[in-house]
Amino acid sequence: MKLSRCFTALAAAAALTAAFSAHAREYSVSTVLSDAFPWGQAASKWAELVKERSEGRITLRVYDNAQLVAGDQTKEFSAMRSGLIDMAVGSTINWSPQVPELNLFSLPFLVADTADTDAITQGAAGETVFKAIEKRGVVPLAWGENGFRELSNSKKPIRSPEDLKGMKIRVVGSPLFQDTFSILGANPTQMSWADAKPALTTGAVDGQENPLSVFDVARIDQVDQKYLTLWGYMADPLIFAVSPSVWKSFSAEDQALLKQAAIDAGKWEIEKSRAEEAQRLAAIRERGVQVIELSATERQAFVEATAPLYAKWEKRIGADLLKAARDAVAGN
Protein backbone atom coordinates (compact mmCIF):
# COMPACT_ATOMS: atom_id res chain seq x y z
CA MET A 1 0.00 0.00 0.00
CA LYS A 2 2.80 2.39 0.95
CA LEU A 3 4.70 1.44 -2.22
CA SER A 4 1.60 2.16 -4.30
CA ARG A 5 1.25 5.59 -2.73
CA CYS A 6 4.92 6.29 -3.39
CA PHE A 7 4.53 5.45 -7.09
CA THR A 8 1.42 7.61 -7.24
CA ALA A 9 3.28 10.56 -5.70
CA LEU A 10 6.20 10.11 -8.10
CA ALA A 11 3.85 9.94 -11.07
CA ALA A 12 2.12 13.13 -9.95
CA ALA A 13 5.46 14.90 -9.53
CA ALA A 14 6.58 13.73 -12.97
CA ALA A 15 3.33 14.99 -14.48
CA LEU A 16 3.80 18.39 -12.87
CA THR A 17 7.39 18.57 -14.10
CA ALA A 18 6.30 17.64 -17.62
CA ALA A 19 3.53 20.22 -17.55
CA PHE A 20 5.96 22.90 -16.32
CA SER A 21 8.54 21.97 -18.97
CA ALA A 22 5.92 22.11 -21.68
CA HIS A 23 5.17 25.74 -20.76
CA ALA A 24 8.76 26.79 -19.99
CA ARG A 25 10.91 27.99 -22.84
CA GLU A 26 14.26 29.65 -23.45
CA TYR A 27 14.47 32.73 -25.67
CA SER A 28 17.53 34.31 -27.25
CA VAL A 29 18.52 37.90 -26.48
CA SER A 30 21.14 39.56 -28.68
CA THR A 31 23.54 42.28 -27.51
CA VAL A 32 26.70 43.73 -29.01
CA LEU A 33 28.62 44.01 -25.73
CA SER A 34 29.02 41.59 -22.82
CA ASP A 35 27.94 42.18 -19.24
CA ALA A 36 31.35 43.71 -18.53
CA PHE A 37 29.71 46.81 -20.05
CA PRO A 38 26.47 48.61 -19.07
CA TRP A 39 24.93 47.50 -22.38
CA GLY A 40 25.37 43.83 -21.60
CA GLN A 41 24.34 44.42 -17.99
CA ALA A 42 21.02 45.79 -19.23
CA ALA A 43 20.30 42.53 -21.04
CA SER A 44 21.42 40.41 -18.07
CA LYS A 45 19.21 42.41 -15.71
CA TRP A 46 16.23 41.93 -18.03
CA ALA A 47 16.85 38.16 -18.08
CA GLU A 48 17.19 38.09 -14.30
CA LEU A 49 13.93 39.97 -13.71
CA VAL A 50 11.96 37.90 -16.24
CA LYS A 51 13.13 34.61 -14.75
CA GLU A 52 12.34 35.79 -11.22
CA ARG A 53 8.91 37.22 -12.03
CA SER A 54 7.84 34.28 -14.19
CA GLU A 55 9.11 31.84 -11.55
CA GLY A 56 11.35 30.22 -14.14
CA ARG A 57 8.71 29.70 -16.82
CA ILE A 58 10.43 32.20 -19.14
CA THR A 59 14.19 32.12 -19.53
CA LEU A 60 16.10 34.71 -21.55
CA ARG A 61 19.55 33.60 -22.67
CA VAL A 62 21.86 36.48 -23.57
CA TYR A 63 24.16 36.11 -26.57
CA ASP A 64 26.71 38.92 -26.53
CA ASN A 65 29.27 40.18 -29.05
CA ALA A 66 26.60 40.09 -31.79
CA GLN A 67 27.35 36.37 -32.15
CA LEU A 68 23.85 35.61 -33.45
CA VAL A 69 24.59 37.76 -36.51
CA ALA A 70 28.22 36.70 -36.99
CA GLY A 71 29.50 39.95 -35.50
CA ASP A 72 27.63 42.24 -37.90
CA GLN A 73 25.64 44.37 -35.48
CA THR A 74 23.81 46.22 -38.27
CA LYS A 75 21.98 42.96 -39.14
CA GLU A 76 20.54 42.49 -35.65
CA PHE A 77 17.27 44.31 -36.33
CA SER A 78 16.55 42.36 -39.53
CA ALA A 79 17.32 39.07 -37.79
CA MET A 80 14.90 39.91 -34.99
CA ARG A 81 12.23 41.03 -37.43
CA SER A 82 12.47 37.73 -39.31
CA GLY A 83 12.43 35.67 -36.10
CA LEU A 84 16.04 34.45 -36.23
CA ILE A 85 16.59 36.34 -32.97
CA ASP A 86 13.86 36.32 -30.32
CA MET A 87 14.77 39.52 -28.51
CA ALA A 88 17.51 42.13 -28.33
CA VAL A 89 18.84 45.06 -26.40
CA GLY A 90 20.12 47.09 -29.30
CA SER A 91 21.60 50.42 -30.24
CA THR A 92 19.71 53.11 -32.16
CA ILE A 93 22.84 53.46 -34.31
CA ASN A 94 22.95 49.80 -35.33
CA TRP A 95 19.22 49.66 -36.10
CA SER A 96 19.11 52.95 -38.02
CA PRO A 97 19.73 51.32 -41.45
CA GLN A 98 16.34 49.59 -41.10
CA VAL A 99 14.59 52.36 -39.13
CA PRO A 100 15.58 55.78 -40.58
CA GLU A 101 13.89 57.63 -37.71
CA LEU A 102 16.53 56.26 -35.33
CA ASN A 103 19.08 58.51 -37.01
CA LEU A 104 17.53 61.24 -34.87
CA PHE A 105 19.78 60.21 -31.99
CA SER A 106 22.90 60.29 -34.18
CA LEU A 107 22.42 63.91 -35.24
CA PRO A 108 25.49 65.75 -33.96
CA PHE A 109 24.93 68.06 -30.99
CA LEU A 110 21.15 67.64 -30.88
CA VAL A 111 21.37 67.08 -27.11
CA ALA A 112 23.68 68.65 -24.57
CA ASP A 113 23.13 66.44 -21.53
CA THR A 114 21.22 63.46 -20.13
CA ALA A 115 18.22 65.64 -19.28
CA ASP A 116 17.88 66.44 -22.99
CA THR A 117 18.07 62.75 -23.86
CA ASP A 118 15.37 61.91 -21.31
CA ALA A 119 13.15 64.70 -22.60
CA ILE A 120 13.24 63.11 -26.06
CA THR A 121 12.94 59.43 -25.17
CA GLN A 122 10.26 59.91 -22.52
CA GLY A 123 8.11 62.32 -24.51
CA ALA A 124 6.21 62.57 -27.79
CA ALA A 125 9.36 62.12 -29.89
CA GLY A 126 10.14 58.86 -28.09
CA GLU A 127 6.62 57.59 -28.73
CA THR A 128 6.98 58.42 -32.43
CA VAL A 129 10.25 56.52 -32.59
CA PHE A 130 8.67 53.44 -30.98
CA LYS A 131 5.81 53.58 -33.50
CA ALA A 132 8.36 53.72 -36.32
CA ILE A 133 10.13 50.63 -34.95
CA GLU A 134 6.84 48.77 -34.68
CA LYS A 135 5.95 49.80 -38.23
CA ARG A 136 9.22 48.21 -39.42
CA GLY A 137 8.27 44.89 -37.85
CA VAL A 138 9.75 44.76 -34.33
CA VAL A 139 8.05 45.33 -30.95
CA PRO A 140 9.89 47.95 -28.80
CA LEU A 141 9.42 47.72 -25.03
CA ALA A 142 11.73 50.07 -23.17
CA TRP A 143 14.72 52.41 -23.26
CA GLY A 144 18.24 51.86 -21.98
CA GLU A 145 21.41 53.87 -22.51
CA ASN A 146 24.83 53.42 -24.06
CA GLY A 147 25.90 56.95 -23.18
CA PHE A 148 27.49 59.99 -24.81
CA ARG A 149 30.11 59.14 -27.37
CA GLU A 150 33.49 60.80 -26.87
CA LEU A 151 36.40 61.09 -29.31
CA SER A 152 39.85 59.58 -28.82
CA ASN A 153 42.97 59.45 -30.99
CA SER A 154 46.66 58.65 -30.98
CA LYS A 155 47.97 61.85 -32.58
CA LYS A 156 47.12 65.05 -30.71
CA PRO A 157 44.56 66.88 -28.56
CA ILE A 158 41.44 67.72 -30.57
CA ARG A 159 39.90 71.08 -29.70
CA SER A 160 38.59 72.26 -33.06
CA PRO A 161 37.32 70.90 -36.38
CA GLU A 162 40.68 71.88 -37.90
CA ASP A 163 42.41 69.41 -35.56
CA LEU A 164 40.43 66.56 -37.14
CA LYS A 165 41.42 67.28 -40.73
CA GLY A 166 42.85 64.20 -42.43
CA MET A 167 42.60 62.06 -39.32
CA LYS A 168 41.43 58.46 -39.85
CA ILE A 169 38.56 57.78 -37.46
CA ARG A 170 36.86 54.42 -37.02
CA VAL A 171 33.07 54.78 -37.20
CA VAL A 172 30.13 52.38 -37.05
CA GLY A 173 28.16 51.35 -40.15
CA SER A 174 25.98 54.44 -40.39
CA PRO A 175 25.93 56.91 -43.30
CA LEU A 176 25.25 59.75 -40.86
CA PHE A 177 28.49 59.00 -39.03
CA GLN A 178 30.29 59.07 -42.36
CA ASP A 179 28.73 62.45 -43.12
CA THR A 180 29.52 63.86 -39.68
CA PHE A 181 33.21 63.08 -39.75
CA SER A 182 33.57 63.95 -43.42
CA ILE A 183 32.10 67.43 -42.89
CA LEU A 184 34.59 67.91 -40.06
CA GLY A 185 37.44 67.12 -42.44
CA ALA A 186 38.31 63.70 -41.05
CA ASN A 187 38.62 60.44 -42.97
CA PRO A 188 35.91 58.18 -41.49
CA THR A 189 36.57 54.45 -41.79
CA GLN A 190 33.63 52.10 -41.26
CA MET A 191 34.32 48.84 -39.42
CA SER A 192 32.74 46.59 -36.81
CA TRP A 193 33.88 46.82 -33.19
CA ALA A 194 35.53 43.40 -33.56
CA ASP A 195 37.84 44.91 -36.18
CA ALA A 196 38.33 48.27 -34.47
CA LYS A 197 40.85 47.39 -31.77
CA PRO A 198 43.24 45.58 -34.17
CA ALA A 199 43.01 48.57 -36.53
CA LEU A 200 43.85 50.96 -33.69
CA THR A 201 46.73 48.72 -32.62
CA THR A 202 48.34 48.70 -36.07
CA GLY A 203 47.64 52.35 -36.76
CA ALA A 204 45.32 51.58 -39.65
CA VAL A 205 43.06 54.16 -38.02
CA ASP A 206 44.09 57.04 -35.75
CA GLY A 207 41.07 57.30 -33.54
CA GLN A 208 37.57 56.21 -32.60
CA GLU A 209 34.47 57.46 -30.77
CA ASN A 210 32.63 55.56 -28.04
CA PRO A 211 31.06 56.04 -24.62
CA LEU A 212 33.39 56.30 -21.62
CA SER A 213 32.24 52.87 -20.45
CA VAL A 214 33.60 51.28 -23.62
CA PHE A 215 36.85 53.25 -23.48
CA ASP A 216 37.30 52.23 -19.84
CA VAL A 217 36.32 48.55 -19.86
CA ALA A 218 37.82 47.73 -23.28
CA ARG A 219 41.04 49.55 -22.25
CA ILE A 220 41.18 51.64 -25.41
CA ASP A 221 44.15 53.43 -23.84
CA GLN A 222 46.18 50.26 -24.43
CA VAL A 223 45.87 50.64 -28.21
CA ASP A 224 47.69 53.97 -28.34
CA GLN A 225 44.68 56.20 -27.67
CA LYS A 226 46.49 58.93 -25.76
CA TYR A 227 44.00 61.78 -26.17
CA LEU A 228 40.32 61.82 -25.24
CA THR A 229 38.11 64.78 -26.14
CA LEU A 230 34.89 65.16 -24.17
CA TRP A 231 32.68 66.70 -26.82
CA GLY A 232 29.44 64.80 -26.14
CA TYR A 233 28.38 65.12 -29.76
CA MET A 234 25.66 62.46 -29.48
CA ALA A 235 24.07 60.10 -26.98
CA ASP A 236 23.11 56.55 -27.97
CA PRO A 237 19.96 55.18 -26.33
CA LEU A 238 19.46 51.43 -26.17
CA ILE A 239 16.14 49.76 -26.95
CA PHE A 240 14.71 46.55 -25.48
CA ALA A 241 12.70 44.82 -28.19
CA VAL A 242 11.04 41.53 -29.21
CA SER A 243 10.45 39.72 -32.48
CA PRO A 244 6.76 40.08 -33.45
CA SER A 245 6.23 36.32 -33.86
CA VAL A 246 7.63 35.70 -30.38
CA TRP A 247 5.63 38.56 -28.89
CA LYS A 248 2.38 37.16 -30.26
CA SER A 249 3.12 33.77 -28.70
CA PHE A 250 2.94 35.23 -25.18
CA SER A 251 -0.26 35.70 -23.22
CA ALA A 252 -1.31 39.25 -22.36
CA GLU A 253 -0.09 38.65 -18.80
CA ASP A 254 3.35 37.50 -19.96
CA GLN A 255 3.59 40.38 -22.41
CA ALA A 256 3.00 42.76 -19.51
CA LEU A 257 5.59 40.90 -17.44
CA LEU A 258 8.23 41.11 -20.19
CA LYS A 259 7.56 44.80 -20.82
CA GLN A 260 7.65 45.85 -17.18
CA ALA A 261 10.83 43.83 -16.63
CA ALA A 262 12.40 45.63 -19.61
CA ILE A 263 11.32 49.04 -18.28
CA ASP A 264 12.73 48.24 -14.84
CA ALA A 265 15.98 46.83 -16.27
CA GLY A 266 16.36 49.92 -18.46
CA LYS A 267 15.87 52.34 -15.56
CA TRP A 268 18.30 50.33 -13.45
CA GLU A 269 20.95 50.33 -16.18
CA ILE A 270 20.57 54.04 -16.99
CA GLU A 271 20.95 55.05 -13.34
CA LYS A 272 23.91 52.72 -12.83
CA SER A 273 25.81 53.79 -15.96
CA ARG A 274 25.32 57.50 -15.23
CA ALA A 275 26.43 57.08 -11.64
CA GLU A 276 29.66 55.42 -12.82
CA GLU A 277 30.69 58.13 -15.32
CA ALA A 278 32.84 60.21 -12.95
CA GLN A 279 34.61 57.12 -11.63
CA ARG A 280 35.34 55.91 -15.15
CA LEU A 281 36.75 59.28 -16.19
CA ALA A 282 39.01 59.36 -13.14
CA ALA A 283 40.30 55.85 -13.95
CA ILE A 284 41.01 56.87 -17.55
CA ARG A 285 42.96 59.92 -16.38
CA GLU A 286 44.96 57.79 -13.93
CA ARG A 287 46.14 55.63 -16.83
CA GLY A 288 47.84 58.65 -18.37
CA VAL A 289 45.25 59.56 -21.00
CA GLN A 290 45.10 63.31 -21.66
CA VAL A 291 41.46 64.36 -21.28
CA ILE A 292 40.42 67.45 -23.21
CA GLU A 293 37.34 69.30 -21.94
CA LEU A 294 36.03 71.80 -24.49
CA SER A 295 35.02 75.31 -23.59
CA ALA A 296 31.59 76.50 -24.70
CA THR A 297 33.21 78.41 -27.55
CA GLU A 298 35.23 75.40 -28.71
CA ARG A 299 32.16 73.14 -28.65
CA GLN A 300 30.15 75.72 -30.56
CA ALA A 301 32.67 75.55 -33.41
CA PHE A 302 31.82 71.85 -33.84
CA VAL A 303 28.11 72.62 -33.61
CA GLU A 304 28.35 75.18 -36.41
CA ALA A 305 30.56 72.96 -38.58
CA THR A 306 28.05 70.09 -38.49
CA ALA A 307 24.87 72.19 -38.70
CA PRO A 308 24.48 71.71 -42.51
CA LEU A 309 23.83 68.00 -41.94
CA TYR A 310 20.41 68.74 -40.47
CA ALA A 311 18.93 69.90 -43.78
CA LYS A 312 20.00 66.66 -45.47
CA TRP A 313 19.00 64.27 -42.71
CA GLU A 314 15.73 65.91 -41.78
CA LYS A 315 14.22 64.35 -44.92
CA ARG A 316 15.17 60.83 -43.81
CA ILE A 317 14.34 61.25 -40.14
CA GLY A 318 11.12 63.21 -40.66
CA ALA A 319 10.55 66.92 -40.14
CA ASP A 320 7.82 66.37 -37.55
CA LEU A 321 9.95 64.01 -35.49
CA LEU A 322 12.93 66.35 -35.55
CA LYS A 323 10.71 69.26 -34.49
CA ALA A 324 9.25 67.19 -31.63
CA ALA A 325 12.77 66.36 -30.46
CA ARG A 326 13.91 69.98 -30.65
CA ASP A 327 10.77 71.12 -28.81
CA ALA A 328 11.49 68.56 -26.08
CA VAL A 329 15.03 69.85 -25.66
CA ALA A 330 13.93 73.49 -25.72
CA GLY A 331 11.29 72.83 -23.08
CA ASN A 332 13.65 70.92 -20.84
Statement: residue 90 has pLDDT above 90 = yes
pLDDT tens digits, one per residue of 162-205: 999 999 999 988 899 999 999 999 999 998 878 888 999 999 99
CA dihedral 304, 225, 235, 102 (to 10 degrees): 90
Statement: residue 19 has pLDDT above 80 = no
Pick the CATH number of 25-330 from 3.65.10.10, 3.40.640.10, 3.40.190.170, 3.90.10.10: 3.40.190.170
Q: Is 61 helix (H, G, I), strand (E, B) or coil?
A: strand
Q: What is the mean pLDDT of residues 214-238?
A: 96
**Residue 173: per-residue pLDDT:** 81
pLDDT tens digits, one per residue of 129-174: 999 999 999 999 999 999 999 999 999 999 999 999 999 999 988 8
Helices (H), the chain: 2-23, 38-53, 76-81, 92-95, 114-121, 124-135, 161-164, 175-183, 193-202, 212-217, 244-249, 252-275, 277-286, 296-306, 309-317, 319-330
Contacts of 160 (CB under 8 A, 6+ apart): 298, 301, 302
**Residue 73: per-residue pLDDT:** 86
Statement: residue 41 has pLDDT above 50 = yes
Beta bridge partners of 209: 151
**Residue 24: per-residue pLDDT:** 75
Question: Average pLDDT of the chain?
Answer: 92
Nearest Cα to 97, choosing from 118, 72, 117?
Answer: 72
- The CA-based angle 120-95-168, given to 5 degrees, is 95
Instruction: Break the chain into its structural domains and give their ranges.
Output: 25-330
Q: What is the mean pLDDT of residues 6-10?
A: 39
Nearest Cα to 306, choosing from 100, 106, 116, 167?
Answer: 106
**Residue 71: per-residue pLDDT:** 84
Q: What is the pTM of this model?
A: 0.91
pLDDT tens digits, one per residue of 248-302: 999 999 999 999 999 999 999 999 999 999 999 999 999 999 999 999 999 999 9
Tell me what percent of the residues of the chain surpass a pLDDT of 90: 88
Give the pLDDT band of residue 23 (cuts 50, 70, 90): low
- The single-letter DSSP state of residue 51 is H
